[in-house]
Structures are given as structure tokens and as C-alpha cells.
Structure 1
Amino acid sequence: MKKINPFQPNSPVAPGMFAGRQNEIDALKQGLQQTKHGNPMNFLVTGERGIGKSSLVNYIKFLADGSIKSPDFEQFNFVTINIAVSEKMSLVTLIKLIERNIKRQVGKVEKVRNFLDDTWGFIQRIRVMDSGIDKAQSSEDPDLILDELAYSLSATSKRLTSPEKGEERKDGIVFFIDEADNASSELRIGYFFKLLTELLQQDSCGNIMFVAAGLPETTEKLYNSHESSIRVFSELKIRELEVPERYYVIDRGIEEGNEKNTDQTKITKDAKGYISTLSEGYPHFIQQFSFSAFEFNDDGEISAEDVLEGAFRPCGALDAIGSRYYASRYHEQIKSDEYREVLSIMAENLNAWTTRKEINENFSGTEHTLNNALQTLTNRKIILRNPSKRGEYRLQQKGFALWIKLFGERKK
């Protein structure tokens, strides 16, 4: 019987597998504590794809709703609302999703359900502009809609924190707004957060917390929508895991696998070293390289050779990571073979700084085309420009360089 693979490269890790991020966790726990006692704090979690934003948010959600307990604080008991932003989401759609999720979470008791129907009655007057069913434009002013949203949220929060007889008391509401970088200009996400938090404050509602998560460009989208919206949040920039934290993730996965499987698995120190190096500290990549090594191994001990074979073979770890993270940058976001040639030249140095002179010496196109390529690739954040030395560029990750060398030309 084939062993159950404990590593999960395509989903946030479970709280028991979570490693690192202690400073970020401490800040978010303090935010929960402050919000519980009427002094709300809001957070913006930013980082590159695969860096572990979703796993961190998932861990905090479990803390907030009381599924796991923090050793530093009493157990929390918040209502948690999870919403993922899409590129086509409008302000009206976001508000309707908030209302729908709140009713699902706390509308099971009839008295509360009746209260919510009355409190959120304004929703019935709003027509969804992008539903595909009713294309009529809403005549509601956005400021008026947000004013009514703030009133409904405030009333709901106060009912949850000061319940009537027989109802469960809650600490408040925590909103997790994921993939905030998808927000369109029509959503006006910065305006949404800025005005809503001010209105809640004016209504003396202190038990609502917002945690927004997204790629680094989320900050720019917030600012472009409302310059002051950045001040609503404390920003937590997620970095790569340190080497001991990478080892912890690998060891926890092996331990979990051995709890589920009759046949036990070991892993050598060299194998863990290769996974650590190849992953570059990205939690998703650690999971993927570990998953592929576990799948390739057939003798109960994962070796360095297992890691490398599982990593670089077709349909292996690097191929899977590339399909999810790199292929779009290399194919869909670039329509010129000459631009891709620039990436291939840079990939020879992995993610070390490469001078424009070195690229030009190996480039088959004109100098004008090279200038356009470097400008476009930089603007699209496919490559990085050295801020302290003119004329130097690099790829963001070694993995991207390796994928280009091994699999980049396969589509052609």
C-alpha cells in the first residue's frame, strides 16, 4: 500500500505544521487582544507568491475563532469572516458578501436571525451591478452605502459582544480579506477601508478588526484608491523562512507522515539541506520539494538523490512550481521571444546581479530592443533593478532561473 504523503504544496499548512513568523504572530495576537477589549487594530499582510501569507492568515484565523489557544492570552472567541477579492469584484458585491457571510456565521439562532434581517435590510435595496443578471446601475451613493454598512456592522458587533439571554457571547468580528492585490480601481479598496473604519470609530464600535493580505503591490493599490488608507493598517511584510525554520517544517511533515503510515520514513541531513536551499525559504516551495522527494523515495529514507531527482525530473517539484508561479511570467506576460531571450541570458547567473553590458554581449537583438525589454520586464516586476548600482538586473528567485533553463522553452 502506498504511503500517505504528509506534505501539502497546494494548500495552506495546518496550524500544527506552521513554523516561524513569530514577530508577525505576536503582532497579530496583540491586535486580537486589543480588539477584544475595544481598541481595534488592523493589519496588512504582504509578500510574494508562495511566501506563506495564506498559511499565516489561516493560523491567525484559528487563533481568533478559538480553534487553537495562544499561550500568551486567554482563548479568543471572535466571529471570523473570510472573503477573497476577485478582479471583477465591485464595492456592492463586497458589501453583499460581508452580509451573507455574517448571516451564515451567526444567523443560526432565530432571534439573532430576525435581528440580522432587520439590521441588514438596506442590502435588499442594492442591485448587484456585476451579477450578470441585473445590469441596472445602482442609484445609491457609495458614501451612503458605506454609512449603512458601518451602522449594520456596529449594531451586529454590539449584539455579539453584549448578547441577549441564551445567546453566545463573542469577542467581536475579524475580517480576513485575502488576495487584496486583485482589487480593481472600481472597487476603490483603499476608500472602502478608510471610510468604513472612520465610521465605525465614530459609532464607538471597537470590536471589529480587518486583516487584508496580498502581493506587495497591494500597498500601491490602497494608496491609489485613497492616500490615507495606508494609515489604517500596520503592515507586516512576510519574508523567507530562516534555515532552522525550514528544517522544522520538513521534520514536522516527516513526523506527521509517520503517524499516519505503518511503514516509517526517515530523511537525511543532506536531503533537508537540499530542500532548504532549493526552496529559498518559501514555505510553499518547501512543501513542494518535500512532497516530490517523498513521492520519489522507495526505500524508507529520503536521500539527497531523492530530493534532486524529485525536483528536476519532468512533472517534478520545479516543474510543478513553475507551472503555478513562473509560466505566466515567462509566457503570458511576455509576448516577445527577444524579451524571453533576455531572461534566458540572466538565468545563467541564477538570481545574481547581471550587468546590462553582459546581457548585451549575449543578446541577438538590437540595443533599442534590449532597452525596451529591460524597461518592460522591470515595470512588470519580472526582473529587479539594482537600486544601489546602475545598469544591474536580476531574477527574483533562483528557482525561476532553474525553471527557465530546464523547462522554459518546452511550450515552444
Structure 2
Amino acid sequence: MAHLKRSPFKIDRIESDPKAFGLRITEISTCLESLYNGRNILISGTRGIGKSSLGSQLQTVYQGEKELLKRCRLESNLPKFLTVFYACDDTTTLASLSQDILFQIEHKSSLLPKTKFKKKKITIEMNLGVFKAALENEAVTRSPSSIVTKFAAGLEVSLNSLKEFSEYEGINIFVDELDQLAPKINFGHFLKMLHENLSRDKLDGITFILAGQKGVYTRLLTEDASAERIIRHISIPTLDPNEARYVLDYAASSASPRFQIQNSALQMILSLSAGYPYVIHLLGDAAFNMMKSEKVMTTEDVIHGLEVILKSDKKEKYLNRLTMLTVNQKFVLLTMAKFSSSDI
């Protein structure tokens, strides 16, 4: 009788496990050093390269998780920050972004366990209602300077409350998918005004992690040249072969039951994934679902899994990731999709 299997590969969610994360030690070290010194960072790269996962991993360090530091051989007492996340889309406005971030801060603060408090207080009363209501009105007037003033004031109230009643020393805000913002938003200038407001009020306990596709840094510079000094830009590369292999090995060893990946199968996944974490997980998951033996993943499993991908709605998305393959190599993959498993 067939039984359900839990795949150790993650194709539809951000990597939250610091032990499973594929490292780029140089880039991670740069990010952590910048955040430790109170600088905002911008992570850029092509889709599927791991920007969101990196931002998430950096926030785990702010939450007190040391595993990423240990794997990068870094020693640091990064202060504990409350962390929030916001993903932009083409309907995002400056007012909605600011309002939603304040809501998340207030909501997360209300859910803090008692062990996180320095004083006997059940909840942190931030009284952010007036700021959120004002920002809702700004959605109509759309005055960037007014939005910045109210957003900064709300962040100040939040930070002071956290410092007074909890063990948190600051707030880290991760804003993802910046490239999805409509050009009229002019986020670069908004960021500059916000930075000036926070600096003027000496609110150095608030940092931002920003992320977007390749080219987003140039866009911010075009919108306001000050972006060069107020954010540290880190462009992340594809995984090197050793780190890509680590992702596969960790997935196999953490599965239940554990399995081995045949060396030829492993080399095939490494070659076809071209160092993209998303593609490693996509191919690994497809091959895992084709495994005839629960103890070993074979080259045949990878080929059959690839066939499924190339016949699915993920075909174009997958091929677009393979920037390191030649035209002929891509042609071979597409040709494979035309044949059945028995022909392969």
C-alpha cells in the first residue's frame, strides 16, 4: 500500500531553518556587519536566488538564533530586535506600507510571552491607533512628507515602549519585493526622508532589510541619490558547488526516513540547478516524489522528476533560472519533455 511522504525540499516557502540554508559567507558577513553597525541593507539578485530566505535568516539572528553566526564562523552579540516582515506588490502605497508595518509591530508586541518582559506587564500599550488612522487618511491625500512624519512618530512610540517594557533593544523591518512597487511610489525619496526623520530623533534602534530583483538598487539611486549613503547594497550570487551540495545533503539527512543521493544524481541536480536555491529544491522535490526506493535517490529518479517539471506549468519558470546553461543544453532539456519515461 502506498503511503504519504513528507518531502525535505522546500519549493513553496522561504527557508526558515538556519541549518538548511545555503551559505554565501562573504555576503552574509557583510549583511550582519552592516546591521550590527545600525546600517540599513538592500539585498538584490535574480528571482529564485534566495533573497527572501537570506532576509529571513538575518532576522532569526536578531531574534537570538546563533546557528547562522556559528556556520559563518562569526562572533557577535547582535542585540535582540523585534522583527516584522512586509511584502510589496503593485498596489502598495506608501501609506498602506507604513500603516501595515505599524500594525504588525503592535500585533507582534501584543503576542510576546511573559518571559520577554522586563516588568510585570501583560501587554505593551503602544497607542498606535492615532498614527494608523492618520496614515489611513493619507491614503487619500498621498503626501509623502506627511506619511513619513506619522510613520516615524509611530515607530518612535513603538521603539520606546519595547525598550521600556521588554528585553528588545530595537525593531528590524524586512521589506521584500521592492521591485514590485509602482514607479510613481518613489520609494527612494521616501526612504531618504524617513532616514532623516529617524536620525534627527536619534532612533538608532530601527533598521531595515530591503530586498528586490536585480536593478532595484539602480532604481533607488535614480529616485534619490542619497540611497547610496543610507543603505548598504549587497548583490547575492548563485551558490557555489559546495554550498549547493550542502543543501542537498542536508535535505537527505534530515528526511524521515533518511536517504542517500547517488553521486551521479547529485551531480545532475547540481549541474541543472546552476546554483539557484529554488531550482535545487524544485529538482530535489520532483526527484524525491519519483524515488522507487526510500533509501536512495537515483539518476533515473532525477530524470523522471525533470520530465514532470518540463511538462508542468513550472517549465518556463524553471528554464528562466538556467542562465548558466547553453542554448543547446536547454534544447536537450526541452527535447526530453517530449518523450515518455519508458523512452528515456
- Give TM class, smaller chain: 0.7 to 0.9
Post-superposition Cα deviations, 1:182-217, rounded to whole Å, max 9, x if no partner, equal 011232211111110111111111111111001012
Aligned twin of 1:74: 77
State the AA in 1 paired with 2:229: R
CA distance in 1, matches of 2:237, 2:130: 43
Give the counterpart of 2:21 among 2, 12, 18: 18
Aligned twin of 2:341: none
Give the counterpart of 1:205 among 190, 203, 211: 203
CA distance in 2, matches of 1:182, 1:24: 24
| 1:289 correspondence with 2:287 | no
Shift of 1:248: 0.7
Contact 2:144-2:190 at 8 Å conserved across structures: no
Contact 1:350-1:402 at 8 Å conserved across structures: no
State the AA in 1 paired with 2:274: E
Post-superposition Cα deviations, 1:295-314, rounded to whole Å, max 9, x if no partner, equal 11112321222212211x2x
Q: Compared with structure 1, are the counterparts of its residues 65 and 402 closer, same or farther at alpha carbon in structure 2 (3 Å cutoff)?
A: farther
Tell me the C-alpha RMSD between the 2 structures. 2.9
Contact 1:250-1:290 at 8 Å conserved across structures: yes
Aligned twin of 1:121: 130
Q: Compared with structure 1, are the counterparts of its residues 288 and 317 closer, same or farther at alpha carbon in structure 2 (3 Å cutoff)?
A: farther
Aligned twin of 2:102: 99
State the AA in 1 paired with 2:132: I
State the AA in 2 paired with 1:188: N
Percent identity, aligned pairs only, is 24
Aligned twin of 2:250: 252
Shift of 1:84: 0.3
Aligned twin of 1:47: 45
Give the counterpart of 1:306 among 285, 301, 305: 301
| 1:85 correspondence with 2:79 | no
Residue 170 of structure 1 aligns to a residue whose secondary structure is coil
Give the TM-score normalised by the residue count of structure 2. Answer: 0.83
Instruction: Say which structure, 1 or 2, has more relative contact order (CA 8 Å, 6+ apart).
Output: 2
Equivalences for 1:134-149 in 2 at 5 Å? 137-138=140-141, 141-149=143-151
Deviates more, 1:197-206 or 1:1-10: 1-10
State the AA in 1 paired with 2:276: Y
Give the counterpart of 2:8 among 6, 10, 13: 6
Shift of 1:322: 2.4
Contact 1:91-1:188 at 8 Å conserved across structures: no
Q: Which runs of 5+ in 2 are unaligned?
A: 112-120, 339-344
Shift of 1:97: 0.7
CA distance in 2, matches of 1:321, 1:128: 42
Equivalences for 1:257-296 in 2 at 5 Å? 257=255, 260-261=256-257, 264-296=258-290
Aligned twin of 1:159: 161
Across the two proteins, how many residue pairs are aligned to each other? 320
CA distance in 2, matches of 1:125, 1:2: 51
Shift of 1:86: 0.9
Post-superposition Cα deviations, 1:11-40, rounded to whole Å, max 9, x if no partner, equal 122222112211122122223332xxxxx2
Shift of 1:143: 1.0
State the AA in 2 paired with 1:46: S
Deviates more, 1:215-224 or 1:265-274: 215-224
State the AA in 2 paired with 1:252: Y
Aligned twin of 2:115: none
CA distance in 1, matches of 2:162, 2:261: 49
Contact 1:52-1:283 at 8 Å conserved across structures: yes
Aligned twin of 1:322: 315
Q: Compared with structure 1, are the counterparts of its residues 233 and 325 closer, same or farther at alpha carbon in structure 2 (3 Å cutoff)?
A: farther
Q: Which runs of 5+ in 1 are unaligned?
A: 35-39, 131-136, 330-346, 353-394
